[in-house]
Amino acid sequence: MSKEKIAIAYSGGLDTSVMIKWLKDKYEGADIVAVTGNLGQTKEIENLESKAIKTGASSFHFVDLRKQFVEEYIWRALKAGALYEDVYPLATALGRPLLAKALVDVAVEEGCTMLAHGCTGKGNDQVRFEVTFASLAPHLKVLAPLREWEFTSREAEIAYALEHNIPVSATKKSPYSIDENIWGISIECGVLEDPMVPPPDDAFQITVSPEKAPDQPTVVDIEFIEGVPVSLDGKEMTGLDLIVRLNELGAKNGVGRLDMVENRVVGIKSREIYEAPAATILHFAHRELERLTLEKSVFQYKKNISQDYANIIYNGTWFSPMRSALDAFVNETQKPVTGLVRIKLYKGSMSLLGRNSPNSLYNEELATYTEADTFNHKAAAGFIHIYGLGVKTFNQVNKNNG
Ligand code: ARG
């Protein structure tokens, strides 16, 4: 039997470390190609290469996906207004198709025969990874060791790791399961599993609690061109820098904490908390600019698209004709979404100070109640007469029928 070559989505954490050894045993001496994608996470990214090799990988790839993540994934989701079940900005969910694609690219380049990921059998991430694998590389066999292996606890995995000299940083064991990228941090497990328990302070990774935020507010000016943020406080920045900076400003003011019970793809409800300062601020600012610049029917119709788009991201069908078609619609709507939004961040809250745009549809001469008013008041009477004719007629005919 020829030797298998397996590309694994590697994070350097306990699960994917144990996975390397476990796969080598199961597929007799298979070559393991460990791949880590950089989506702007800050934890567990040091010494990944030496750790992977020590654990038994034949090679290691660290792929910088940050620019692509911002420009091809995050900005699309922002323009679409994609918030899952009206709350979650989809940081983890958006990262998965890109990580899966990066894994496939390396696997193809290295001539791998199999792909492996470290997701569990009851989460959303296995769905996102595997739907993407099937879409991009149906010829590669997919392995999900966590769905099959014998370990039933973290302790059992640690024991296996120690027995096989697998380097693990199990000392600073967190009671939470945490996934991090620049668009946000997802935190679950531990005491958070009881939806009545408020998140303890140690669950939050970057934001300060609103009570401990500064007494002085922070005001930010965000400028958008066609729905994409391009500058902060008058300074042009790359998307990546802009998100990093807004995360800092939001976190410092306690902005961007979310707590939700959500509906998973696999039919269960789970409680997760999120920290997503930049995403929270940008979605808010973007929507306020749309209120000013989108024509009424487009603005109202787009809400449905936002929900559909969020579901596509959450459910793992990023590489789909539906997503491309919705992108085309969304991009068309974004043409006038250019302008400035001024926001105040203060003790966990966000408020709008002002907005303007060269494409503003707000017409002061029509809106004003002063002498400057140019609205044709008399025309309103005829408009209402005809507009209400249908319901008026119905109610007259049916007045005796309750
Ligand atoms: N519930 C989020 C999602 O499905 C995050 C999943 C990963 N969460 C975690 N804490 N590791 O997108």
- According to the model, what pLDDT value does residue 173 have? 65
Q: Sheet with 114-116: list strands edge to edge.
A: 59-64, 31-38, 5-9, 114-116, 141-143
The pair of structure tokens assigned to 18 is 């144990």
Catalytic residue among 17, 125, 128, 179: 125
Question: Which amino acid is present at 268?
Answer: I
SS3 content of the chain, % helix, strand, coil (to 5): 45, 20, 35
Are 205 and 178 spatial neighbours (Cβ–Cβ below 8 Å)?
Answer: yes
At 356 the pLDDT is: 98
Q: What average pLDDT does range 11-15 have in this prediction?
A: 92
pLDDT, one tens digit per residue, over 219-257 is 999 999 999 999 999 999 999 999 999 999 999 999 999
**pLDDT score, position 262:** 98
Angle at 40 between CA 20 and CA 232, to 5 degrees: 175
The question of whether 125 is a catalytic residue gets the answer yes
Atom of ligand 1 nearest to the CA of 189: 10
* Ligand 1, atom nearest to 90 Cα: 12
93 pLDDT above the threshold of 90: yes
Give the pLDDT band (50/70/90) at residue 122. Answer: very high
Best residue for ligand 1 mutational test, from 98, 124, 263 (most atoms within 8 Å of Cβ): 124
Which of 66, 76, 96, 128 is an active site residue? 96
Q: Which band of pLDDT confidence, cut at 50, 70 and 90, is reported for residue 401?
A: low
What distance in angstroms lies between residue 365's CA and the mean position of ligand 1's atoms?
A: 49
Whose Cα sits closest to atom 1 in ligand 1?
272
**186, 312, 314: which to mutate for ligand 1, most atoms within 8 A of CB?**
186
In percent, how much of the chain has pLDDT > 70? 98
- Whether residue 393 has pLDDT greater than 70: yes
pLDDT at position 45: 78
**Mean pLDDT to the nearest integer, 359-387:** 96
Instruction: Indicate whether residue 36 lines ligand 1 (CB < 6 A).
Output: no
pLDDT in tens, 336-352: 999 999 999 999 999 99
Q: Which residue has the higher pLDDT, 171 or 61?
A: 61
Q: What is the pLDDT of residue 174?
A: 77
- Quick check: 108 pLDDT over 80? yes
User: What region, left, alpha or beta, does residue 274 occupy, with left being phi > 0 and alpha being psi -120 to 50 degrees?
Assistant: beta
The answer, yes or no, to whether residue 185 has pLDDT greater than 60, is yes
pLDDT band at 154 (very low <50, low <70, confident <90, very high): confident
Q: Is the CB of 188 under 6 A from ligand 1?
A: yes
Distances (CA, A) of 290 to 269, 303, 364: 32, 11, 18
The active-site residue, picked from 59, 135, 177, 231, is 177
Ligand 1 center from residue 236 Cα (angstroms): 32
Distance of CA 332 to the CA centre of its chain: 22
Whole-number Å distance, alpha carbon 273 to ligand 1 midpoint, is 9
- Comparing 1 with 376, which gets the higher pLDDT? 376
Cα 319 from chain centroid (whole Å): 16
Amino acid at 68: Q
Look at residue 175 in the predicted model and tell me its pLDDT. Answer: 87
205-230 mean pLDDT:
98
Structure tokens at 290: 């749309």
Question: Residue 224 carries which side chain, given as an amino acid letter?
Answer: F
Domains and their CATH numbers in the chain: 5-178 (3.40.50.620), 180-356 (3.90.1260.10), 368-400 (no CATH)
**CB of 180 closer than 6 A to ligand 1?**
no
The neighbouring-strand residues paired with 340 are: 223, 356
The alpha carbon of 269 and the centre of ligand 1 are apart by a number of angstroms equal to 12
> What average pLDDT score do residues 371-391 get?
96
Q: What is the 39 CA–ligand 1 centroid distance (Å)?
A: 15
Q: Is 96 a known active-site residue? A: yes
Assigned token pair, 384? 């209402």
8 Å CB contact between 157 and 55 = no
Q: Higher-confidence residue: 136 or 170?
A: 136
- Evaluate if residue 216 carries a pLDDT over 90: yes
User: Checking DSSP bridges between strand 184-188 and strand 177-181, what pairing results, if any?
Assistant: antiparallel
Q: Whose CA is nearest to atom 8 of ligand 1?
A: 186
Average pLDDT, the chain: 96
pTM over 0.85: yes
Active site residue 15: yes
Strands (E), 92-131: 114-116
Give yes or no for residue 294 CB within 6 A of ligand 1: no
Strand order in the sheet with 184-188: 177-181, 184-188, 269-275, 257-263
Q: pLDDT confidence of 42, banded at 50, 70, 90?
A: confident
What is the whole-number distance in angstroms between the Cα of residue 188 and the centre of ligand 1?
Answer: 7
Span 66-86, average pLDDT: 98
Instruction: Output the CA 328–ligand 1 centroid distance in Å.
Output: 28
Q: Is the pLDDT of residue 171 over 80?
A: no
Nearest atom of ligand 1 to the alpha carbon of 179: 11
pLDDT the model gives residue 43: 81
What is the reported pLDDT for 172? 53
